[in-house]
Amino acid sequence: MKKISLSNISKLYEVISREYDLYAPIKKAGKVNFAKWTDGEEVVFNAQTVRSPKDMFFPQTMDLYSLKMQGKTVEVIDDRSETAPFVVFGVKPCDCKSFEVLDRVFLAEPVDTYYQNRREAGIIVGLGCSAPSESCMCASFGVDNTEPVADVKSYIVDGEMYLDAITDKGEKLLSLIAGLLVDADSTKVDEQKAKTKEINKKLPLQNLDMTRFTADNLNEIFNEEEWEGLSEACLACGTCTYVCPTCQCYDIRDFKTNDGVKRFRCWDSCMYSDFTKMSAGQPRNTQMQRFRQRFMHKLVYFPANNDGMYSCVGCGRCATKCPISMNIAKVIKKLGGKHND
Amino acid sequence: MQEVKEYTPLIVAFCCNWCSYAGADLAGSSRLSYPANVKIIRVPCSCRVNPMFILKAFQRGADGVIMCGCHPGDCHYTSGNYYARRRMSLLFSMLDYMGIERERTRVEWVSAAEGAKFANVMNEFAKTINELGENKRLEDLRCK
Amino acid sequence: MQVSDIKKKASEMLLSGEVKRVIGWKKGEFDYDLTPATFESVEELEDFVYDGFCGANLSKYLIKESKKEGKTLVFMKPCDTYSFNQLLKEHRIVRDNVYVVAIDCEGKLDIDKIKSKGIKGILSVKEDGDEVIIDTIYGESKVVKGEVMLEKCLTCKSKEHVAYDESMAQGVENVSLDRFSEVAKLEAMTADERYEFWRGELSKCIRCNACRNVCPACSCVKCVFDNDASGVSAKSNANEFEESMFHIIRAFHVAGRCTDCGECSRVCPQHIPLHLINRKFIKDINTLYGEYQAGADVDSRGPLTNYTTDDLDPSDIFGGNK
């Protein structure tokens, strides 16, 4: 394990950014989001980013290809460019886990090469949690918030950042900044981990009962009357899906430019009325059905197809951002199992 | 070598069918010249101009947008231009509030008999836009 | 006015059959995550709450609820009644199916402001006069209420209800700031500074549509931004232009109808000060066409559906234009 003093950390950013594009949780216009680091930006580690780091691999909009019309000819242009290697700093353990969920979707056959391209180019520096919040549910979804699964794991204790490479990519990154790091033992980090685990025990949503969410109960849960009540105030906005680190639905759309067409893909939200709308009509006509789709997907359909892995990492963004404060915790408490109060 | 495009401003003029569009016609038949980069879009009444039209014109590459209608009191439909006047006042004020150069948008009243005024207005507006330079703050790079 | 009185009123009316359902706020997992809800029985009313976190404006729910069979009882704060009136004016609510009870509001709290003070692990939030006491797993914190109130409440336009069938309100003194001072500050900047300010704010937009969907004035059955035939429908902002366009057009569409209820800014996950866009329109309308408060009545003509022959020309307003 290596360490560096936080007072020295901007030097570390500087060295990395000479070699890679560096992304970090940066505070701009009052809110913290992952953004490209340039000298003078304010990096904030103790707040949750509004947008999740899924943007790094699966951006909100992405050009696929374009068509250019000239007279009677149509030229097809591949808008893809090789992604330059980049580094994402300060990714919390829950968000690290979300990449695993996204990989299941995009790296399964047929592989999404746009995603793969970025995934291979990205080096993730995870950051262990030291002060989880009441909206954190990571433990309920099997995430250990003291062990970020990433290329490099890091911890911040007493004004110092501890770093430890896990993968080869991580080793490579640490060797780049080796001159700035000093050797350290893990005593302080272990103390912090133990402390965090104690805090987890006091958090109300870290031990949700999800035993009922199995493929066998699919029909029973699907037909629950509770869905009506849970979804009645839903505004049908896309906040929960757009701040979610694991929501991966997208739409492919065309934009008519002045001399052709740009085909791009952008995030879609199951909360929107035209979600998966087809020429034959709309598979989900009411907001209740759309609301139900979101949670059934995360808690029942996805695990049934992915060895029990939930498509939720318990980051709690939906819980803090929903305009009407309806969220996955409330759904789990209503439908998850007997042991939720 | 990348080709360097010379800047010629693009101006979109929304013209009311009953007055300024005929005014443009008169300017033409009177052989008065106004810049060729003024693209006229005929509308049934200045009131037809939706704020979205203005924004979309900028999106599609306009550097200046002007709306021409009948003189207040002369609307073919009695009051359309009065409504349009309020709308455009508020919209232009909002664009200014967002930091978009206020000279880029304009409203002028031009009647069917004012061919000379039409040419003058367009010449003068084109000059203003030329001096202002390219529209950067409301551009859509996909349309470049 | 006590919460127990409100609950009593609700259960009385449900029991007597006068109303079929009650719209109010339902308790959540924590003290601060209340959800708007309908209550159809006295048992369900157990979870009814009315406290500092009832910022949500309930008027828009009446579009749907008032079309159901039977009467709906709704509790409204003063600002909600403006939105209610405006919706009545636009014929979106069946008035006969609604029973409005006016309740007092002393300003609502913003959990995001509390959290942005670094307060985490919140177990409970209690109001105590001008203080808010927050108990967390990391210890207790006290903050001044004025520092953690919703933006819309800091500049509250009125503590008086403009529509109700029955009032339980006893009146609260309104000590609020001038709601146009922030707009004036922006107006005083140079165009470049304003451009920078709005770029910074609007670049955060994730196009989640929360501002639009919560807005009582945005009650179109199909929004232009959802309509594929409009040519501007989109599910994300592809670039800066779309960020600006969405917010300008949305604000313009509600100009003259926006009651300044502040819900857009309250629900924005990125805390973009959207109310400053709407207020700019309100301020302009007030200066150019005379003071106008949308929702203050149900029969006046809105400023954009009205005109006078001596309105100013845009070129008169923007001196530099000619």
Q: What is the pLDDT of residue A340?
A: 75
Q: What is the pLDDT of residue C255?
A: 96
Per the CB < 8 Å rule, is A253 touching C138?
Answer: no
**C320 domain-assigned:** no
* Strand order through the sheet with B64-69: B38-43, B11-16, B64-69, B105-109
**C271 domain-assigned:** yes
C291-303 per-position pLDDT tens digit? 999 999 999 999 9
**B54 domain-assigned:** yes
Residue among C283, C306, C317 with most chain B CBs within 10 A, to mutate: C317
Q: What is the pLDDT of residue C1?
A: 76
Query: In which band, very low, low, confident or very high, does the pLDDT at C322 lie, cut at 50, 70 and 90?
Result: very low
Quote the domain boundaries for residue B94: 11-143
**B73 domain-assigned:** yes
- With 0-12 CB in 10 A as exposed, 13-18 as middle and 19+ as buried, what is A269? buried
């029909």: which residue's tokens? Answer: A219
Contact A284, A227 (CB under 8 A): no
C contacts of A321 (beta carbons < 8 Å): 269
Domain total in chain C: 3
Per the CB < 8 Å rule, is C123 touching A239?
Answer: no
Cα dihedral sign for A17, A20, A25, A29?
A: positive
Q: What is the pLDDT of residue B7?
A: 81
Buried b (16+ CB within 10 A) or exposed e, C6-26: bbebbbebbeeeebbbbbbbb
Q: Do C76 and C144 share a domain, yes or no?
A: no
Report the interhelical angle of B20-29 vs B115-132 (nearest 10°): 100
Q: Which residues of chain A have pLDDT under 50?
A: none
Return the structure tokens found at A177. 């900044």
Q: What is the pLDDT of residue C320?
A: 44
Nearest CA in chain A to B142: A257
Model ipTM? 0.93
A contacts of B142 (beta carbons < 8 Å): 255, 257, 262
Q: What is the mean pLDDT of residues B19-38?
A: 96
**C252 domain-assigned:** yes
The neighbours of chain B, by the rule of 3 or more Cβ pairs under 8 Å, are A, C
Nearest-CA distance from A258 to chain B in Å?
5
Nearest CA in chain C to B88: C314
**B4 domain-assigned:** no
- Residue C101: is its pLDDT beyond 70? yes
Q: How far is the CA of C34 from the CAs of A27, A188, A324, A336, C78, in angstroms?
A: 28, 40, 7, 21, 19
């000060």: which residue's tokens? Answer: C273
Q: How many helices (H) and strands (E) does chain B have?
A: 4, 4
Nearest CA in chain A to B141: A257
Chain B to chain C, count of Cβ pairs less than 8 Å apart? 118
Query: In which band, very low, low, confident or very high, does the pLDDT at B2 lie, cut at 50, 70 and 90?
Result: low
- Residue C162: is its pLDDT beyond 70? yes
B78-126 per-position pLDDT tens digit? 999 999 999 999 999 999 999 999 999 999 999 999 999 999 999 999 9
CATH code (residue B113): 3.40.50
C contacts of A333 (beta carbons < 8 Å): 29
Q: Do C98 and C228 share a domain, yes or no?
A: no
C43-91 per-position pLDDT tens digit? 999 999 999 999 999 999 999 999 999 999 999 999 999 999 999 999 9
Q: Do C130 and C92 share a domain, yes or no?
A: no
Q: Do C140 and C241 share a domain, yes or no?
A: no
Q: Do C121 and C265 share a domain, yes or no?
A: no
Q: Do C55 and C193 share a domain, yes or no?
A: no
**C248 domain-assigned:** yes
Query: In which band, very low, low, confident or very high, does the pLDDT at B4 lie, cut at 50, 70 and 90?
Result: low
**B123 domain-assigned:** yes
Quote the domain boundaries for residue C115: 111-148
**C210 domain-assigned:** yes
Per the CB < 8 Å rule, is B143 touching A262?
Answer: no
**B5 domain-assigned:** no
- Residue B3: is its pLDDT beyond 80? no
**B107 domain-assigned:** yes
- Residue B5: is its pLDDT beyond 80? no
**Contacting A residues, span 225-264, partner chain B, CB-CB under 8 Å:** 255, 257-258, 262
Pure H helices in chain C: 3-15, 61-65, 78-89, 111-115, 151-154, 181-188, 191-202, 210-214, 240-254, 263-267, 275-289, 314-317
CA dist., res. C227 & res. A35, Å (int): 32
Q: Do C182 and C308 share a domain, yes or no?
A: yes
Q: Pick A329's closest partner by Cβ from C29, C34, C226.
A: C29
CA dist., res. C208 & res. C213, Å (int): 9
Nearest CA in chain B to A257: B143
| HSE (side-chain half, CA atoms, 13 Å) at A191 | 7
**C32 domain-assigned:** yes
Contact C217, C57 (CB under 8 A): no
- Residue B69: is its pLDDT beyond 60? yes
Pure H helices in B30-64: 51-59
Q: Do C296 and C170 share a domain, yes or no?
A: no
Nearest-CA distance from B6 to chain C in Å?
23
Beta-carbon count within 10 A of A42 CB: 10
Domain total in chain B: 1
User: What are the residue boundaries of the structural domains of chain A, listed by start?
Assistant: 2-202, 215-335
- Residue C157: is its pLDDT beyond 60? yes
3-state secondary structure of C210: helix
Query: In which band, very low, low, confident or very high, does the pLDDT at C318 lie, cut at 50, 70 and 90?
Result: confident
Q: Cβ contacts of residue A140 below 8 Å, gap of 6+? A: A205, A206, A207, A208, A210, A314, A332
Report the mean per-residue pLDDT for chain C: 94
Nearest CA in chain B to A263: B142
Beta-carbon count within 10 A of C322 CB: 12
**B2 domain-assigned:** no
pTM over the 0.90 mark: yes
